[in-house]
Amino acid sequence: MQTPEKNIIAKTITGKTNIVGLIGWPVSHSISPPMHNAAFAELGLDWCYVPFPVRGDSTNTGSNEMVEKAVYGLVGLGIRGSNVTVPHKQAVMPFMDHLTDAAKAIGAVNTIRVEEDGTLLGDNTDGRGFIADLRDHGVDPAGKRALVLGAGGSARAVVFGLAEAGCKAVTIRNRTVSKAEELAAAMTPYFPNCAITAQTNSDSTATLVAANNEADLVINSTSLGMTPHVETMPWHEDVAFRPDQVLYDLVYNPPVTRIMQHAQTGGAQAICGLGMLVWQGAIAFELWTHQEAPAEVMRQTVETIFANK
């Protein structure tokens, strides 16, 4: 196995190098280029992952002109595919020829594959990445009841992943309850056998206690607890976790958040969301290369980067 530093030095672009990349703004902070390039190097693949900084709207007219140019530029330049990050995950959707059910239900594309005939497949690997990391930690969501905190972009992927993996019930608890209701309504047609409901987090702790009593899995998909606001958490201090529960926190900076500490105090298993980042990338890697991703190398690369930040 090679270190990320060695990978950067060892990479040689040839006339046959396959290019993939990341469309977003900004992209300079992204860990995806070193993560994917370490994976290509590990398998000896002549592939390279590069950042594509794409402005949201160069004309200030509200159009997605630059996004459109960037997406069709993938085809024109023979690029094999791309990840898509904020703020373009929705904006790229109209330019796709095909969308997977995951992309349609989540309402966002995070991975594009340019097919052999030049058509564009839009997928979303976040939900499957989340489930892959849960399973990596020995947790199978099938038949379980989940409580999802938050109803933003990442919650959409989490709810999709849980329902697709066979969760029997998902409660979405959010500050803005209308967003939780909209998310539940959007997912229900795809998963009629999963009871997907919404609740507000702005009432007394009584509903949180009741929801927690029902929950096998609790997932934080809010941004609370993230650096620099490490003292915050989307939970009440006086509501205890149980040893039979699992708490998954999508926040990975810091690696142990306040809600993770609270869950551990109650004896619950607490999982940091860094692995979701790795697995969504691993699944994208497999979509492009049709080869099994070296997920452990990708994880070590990401951990090394965060350890040195």
Q: Catalytic amino acids?
A: 89
Among 153, 166, 255, 266, binds ligand NAP (CB under 6 A): 153
Tell me whether residue 81 or residue 150 sits nearer to ligand NAP (CB atom). Answer: 150
Among 155, 208, 211, 270, binds ligand NAP (CB under 6 A): 155
Closest CB 202 distance from ligand NAP, rounded Å: 9
Tell me whether residue 188 or residue 232 sits nearer to ligand NAP (CB atom). Answer: 232
Closest CB 119 distance from ligand NAP, rounded Å: 27
Q: Does 45 bind ligand NAP (CB under 6 A)?
A: no
Q: Which residues contact 261 (CB under 8 A, 6 or more apart)?
A: 270
Q: Does 234 bind ligand NAP (CB under 6 A)?
A: yes
Closest CB 271 distance from ligand NAP, rounded Å: 10
Q: Does 148 bind ligand NAP (CB under 6 A)?
A: no
Nearest to 47 by CA among 34, 58, 56, 36: 36
Among 7, 222, 257, 300, binds ligand NAP (CB under 6 A): 222
Alpha-carbon distance of 141 to 216, in angstroms, equals 9
Alpha-carbon distance of 163 to 143, in angstroms, equals 10
Q: Does 132 bind ligand NAP (CB under 6 A)?
A: no
Q: Does 218 bind ligand NAP (CB under 6 A)?
A: no
Q: Does 236 bind ligand NAP (CB under 6 A)?
A: no
Q: Which residue's CB comes closest to ligand NAP?
A: 152
Binding residues among 253-282 for ligand NAP as defined by CB under 6 A: 273, 276-277
Alpha-carbon distance of 198 to 180, in angstroms, equals 5
Among 223, 236, 264, 266, binds ligand NAP (CB under 6 A): 223
Among 43, 79, 186, 226, binds ligand NAP (CB under 6 A): 226
Tell me whether residue 158 or residue 268 sits nearer to ligand NAP (CB atom). Answer: 158
Q: Does 283 bind ligand NAP (CB under 6 A)?
A: no
Nearest to 75 by CA among 18, 14, 22, 119: 119
Count of residues that interact with ligand NAP, criterion CB under 6 A: 22
Query: Residue written as tokens 């947790």?
Result: 139
Q: Does 124 bind ligand NAP (CB under 6 A)?
A: no
How many other C-beta atoms can be found within 10 angstroms of the C-beta atom of residue 82?
31
Among 252, 258, 287, 300, binds ligand NAP (CB under 6 A): 252
Positions touching ligand NAP (CB under 6 A) are 150-155, 174-176, 179, 221-224, 226, 234, 250-252, 273, 276-277
